[in-house]
């Protein structure tokens, strides 16, 4: 649970910075973010 709470804001911050630097990556960043959060949610649920 601690890893999920510490990892989510870090991933969000990194995604936000990448979107600002390279706006064309928006679709890929959002897709990767959703996949990672989904996996973390499934792992956290166990």
Q: What's the pTM value of the predicted model, to 2 decimals?
A: 0.60
* Residue spans per domain, the chain: 2-45
**CA max distance for the chain:** 36
Can you give the pLDDT at residue 37? 82
Can you give the pLDDT at residue 44? 74
Percent of the chain clearing pLDDT 90 (strictly above): 0
Q: What is the mean pLDDT of residues 24-34?
A: 87
Can you give the pLDDT at residue 3? 56
Helix or strand run (H / E) with residue 16? helix 2-21
Please list, in sequence order, all residues whose beta carbon lies within 8 angstroms of the beta carbon of residue 36, skipping any fewer than 6 positions away: 11
């Amino acid at each position: 649970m601690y890893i999920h709470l510490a990892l989510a804001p870090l991933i969000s911050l990194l995604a936000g910075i990448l979107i600002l630097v390279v706006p064309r990556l928006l679709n890929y960043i959002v897709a990767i973010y959703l996949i990672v959060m989904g996996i973390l949610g499934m792992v956290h649920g166990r």
